[in-house]
Amino acid sequence: MKQHKKFVLYTVGISVFIIFAHLIVMETFARNVLVPNDTVHMKEKLILDRKEEITIIGLGDSHVGNDLYLRENGFNLGRGGDTTPIMYFKLKWLIENDVNVEHLLLQMDYHIFSYYRTQPGNHVKNYYHIIDEPVDSELGDYPSANTFFGDNFIFYSLLDVYSPIIHKTFLNYLKGDFTKPDVSYNGQLSTDYDWTVLDEEDRIASAESRTAGTLYNQYLISEKLVHYYEKIIELAQQNNIKVTLIRYPLANEYLDLVNEEVETEFNELLSRIENKYNLKTLDYRYIFQEKQNYFIDQDHLNNTGAKELGKVIESEL
């Protein structure tokens, strides 16, 4: 009986030790490798390192993340999947961290208020540290507003955004197969792919799939997403930040699929916001119709396209 009890205690003790050691290893990896090298934290560090010189900020989703190349005093804070609530929290974070923002380039594309953007998935979990007020549950499963833990959350490795991937990423890291996001000094995500290598049939199919999910899926305009968009503009104007709306370039295959109903509904909203807040919109949807080799797919630019767009935007600001 005594031997059995010793065996049980020994087994429990070893198990607890293994669990604890595993947690320590994973947490060390998360804090020193995984978290600092995700796109969100990499961009935040780049901004804070340059916060005295940055005066122009771009906010939006991957249209901004891929397409906006700003030199010298500009920074691209866009990221794939960013919603209008996330853009709002990002602007709050910039202001709270005394980043010298004078001009906000705010994405104004067809899909950013659609049903598609009320289903953000795990993407928004990366922003657990800047969300400081509740987000309507109809807009997706956002992290709870948590002002107590913030950046000092005790176990990064247990957060929803990291825990599902940490073991595979750790093994890849040990094998030397850990790749950091290719983020430039100004925040733009760089790629040189040219989508004209695809044949026309494949390009059309890709554009059809994209627009079906983003423009023609249940509804185009969520007033709750518009509400956060207006909060961004109001917060910027309250802090003497100029706001310019940007409509980003689209490939011909995408443009061909935007019907009159979508155009009308979206333009009514655009006019409403422009008039309410006295804003200017720079519309670049058609700028590269003769330069389709500037795209990586139907609605994102490659590095060459982003640099060319950047020159045009800088000349108009």
Residue 172 sits in a domain of what CATH number?
A: 3.40.50.1110
Is residue 2 scored above 70 in pLDDT? no
* Confidence at residue 147, expressed as pLDDT on a 0 to 100 scale: 45
Asked, for residue 240, whether it belongs to a domain, the answer is yes
* Confidence at residue 4, expressed as pLDDT on a 0 to 100 scale: 65
How many CB atoms are closer than 10 A to CB 46?
19
Q: What is the pLDDT of residues 200-250, one digit of tens each?
A: 999 999 999 999 999 999 999 999 999 999 999 999 999 999 999 999 999
Asked, for residue 29, whether it belongs to a domain, the answer is no
What is the domain count for the chain?
Answer: 1
Asked, for residue 14, whether it belongs to a domain, the answer is no
Asked, for residue 90, whether it belongs to a domain, the answer is yes
Strand partners, 113: none
* The CA-based dihedral angle spanning residues 95, 101, 103, 109, taken in that order and rounded to the nearest 10 degrees: -50
Mean pLDDT of the chain: 89
Asked, for residue 7, whether it belongs to a domain, the answer is no
Asked, for residue 84, whether it belongs to a domain, the answer is yes
Hunting for tokens 């669990």 — which residue is that? Answer: 19
Percent of the chain with pLDDT over 70: 94
pTM of this structure:
0.89
The more confidently predicted of residues 264 and 152 is 264
Q: What is the DSSP string of the chain?
A: -HHHHHHHHHHHHHHHHHHHHHHHHHHHHIIIIITTTSHHHHHHHHHHHTTTT--EEEESSHHHHHH----TTEEE---TT--HHHHHHHHHHHHHTT----EEEEE--GGGGSGGGG--GGGGGGGTTT--S---GGG--PPPP-TTTGGG-S-GGGSTTTTTTHHHHHHHHHTT------B-TTSPBP----GGGS-HHHHHHHHHHHHHHHTSSS-S--HHHHHHHHHHHHHHHHTT-EEEEEE----HHHHTT--HHHHHHHHHHHHHHHHHHT-EEEE-TTTTTT-GGGEEETTEE-HHHHHHHHHHHHHH-
The more confidently predicted of residues 82 and 185 is 82
Asked, for residue 30, whether it belongs to a domain, the answer is no
* Confidence at residue 211, expressed as pLDDT on a 0 to 100 scale: 95
Q: Domain of 57? A: 35-316
Asked, for residue 3, whether it belongs to a domain, the answer is no
Q: What is the pLDDT of residues 110-167, one digit of tens each?
A: 999 999 999 887 788 888 889 988 999 899 888 876 544 445 556 778 777 788 888 8
